[in-house]
Amino acid sequence: MCGIVGVFDGVAGSQIDPALIRRMADAIAHRGPDGDGFHIAPGIGLGHRRLAIIDLSGGAQPMATADGQTVVVFNGEIYNFREVAAELAAHGCVFRTRSDTEVILEAYRVWGPSCVTRLSGMFAFALWDATSQTLMLARDRIGKKPLYYRIEADRRIAFASEIKALRVDPAFDRRLDPAAIEDFLGLGYVPDPRTIYAAVRKLPPAHTLVWRRGAQPEIRRYWALDLTETPVRSRAEAVDELRARLKAAVAARLISDVPLGAFLSGGVDSSAVVSTMAGLASAPVKTFTIGFGVADHDETGYARLIAEKYGTDHVEAFIDPQSFAASHDMIDRLVGIYDEPFGDNSALPTLRVCAEARKKVTVALSGDGGDEAFAGYRRYLWHVREQQVRSLVPSAIRGPLFSALAAIYPSFDNAPRFLRAGTTLRELAMGSA
């Protein structure tokens, strides 16, 4: 990962404090240990912390076009940058580097803000167009790369990869957002576009923010998941297509000029990623697993089976579960990493496995999202059953009936799910949205 920061002032000729931009970048130095860079001009300041992955010698940022009129700072990776570069070359673009960063610059010059529709990858970038006096912020389709911002008095915007970079400004408004607190208590995290701070927002996934000096900022969605039903395929055809798509996705993520590996839990998703990597790589895949020595939570046995089957260079790190309770330093570090409340306890082992992986690799693939994409959790089947009940009982009857039943059902909040009928009855009383 890299880190980006910046400040844009909508008033022509205004000055940006270079020391502020440097302090913002220093606050996220951990995101980019391989170097930093800055661009300061009237009304605009950009900063970058680099973790070099592609074109180690030629990809330094901020990166400008040959005429110096367009400048970008970028966090992430554009997986199809070679294909886009070939298309841009047909438009007369000449590239000076082998980096995906330069592809963003040239794509903007040819297609303008709509260039994001051509990019496949994980990214957050800020681009300054001096000719049109326009700032463009963009975030990838799924929101893998973060981008936070705050707007002051409708004339000035500060943005960064992490909230802590915004907090270094003495003028930072630290008031909390009551709605965000409510979201956290209900969901365990603060969803886009809110943050725990009332004055700070996340740029939502698949959105751009374009602000031309003298006008108002415009936030637009550039992509949405296509939910159009496709023709029913046979099981064999569906399996073949899934394998082809998984292979293409993994292959795109193996483009790197630094060592890479994979997290391996032994579950279906991470195992599928590792097996695909093994089929594409010319050397053994480096894999990493965390174990706890507690049978109910230890997946090292499954991971070891996959590692042996595909001949990976496997690393197992074992952790005493009691160490988590006693490790105040780890908790404090996580608080510093997330910058706002986050209630998923998987962050603890994730931090440890990342630390182990960093000893050998710079980039690691993971299988996160497999259960969500393929309905792997039991709650999805439960939701289907609830929907079936809703379809059978008219809402005029269902609401009062199930509300009354929920009110008289005893509370068993800590019992197994099948005994917590009160929760299910309340859900059935509500609509499906």
Question: Which active-site residues does the annotation give?
Answer: 2
Cα 92 to the center of its chain, rounded Å: 33
Report DSSP letters for 78-147, one per residue: ETTHHHHHHHHHTTT---SSS-HHHHHHHHHHHHGGGGGGG--EEEEEEEEETTTTEEEEEE-SS--S--
* Cα angle 176, 182, 187; round to 5: 120
**What radius of gyration, in Å, describes the C-alpha atoms of the chain?**
24
* CA atoms of 307 and 284, how far apart (whole Å): 10
Query: 314-330: buried (b, 16+ CB within 10 Å) or exposed (e) per residue?
Result: bbebebeeeeeeeeeee
Written as one letter, the residue type at 135 is L
Strand order in the sheet with 313-318: 313-318, 286-291, 260-263, 363-365
Tokens of 258: 């630094």
* CA atoms of 214 and 370, how far apart (whole Å): 45
Length of the chain measured in residues = 433
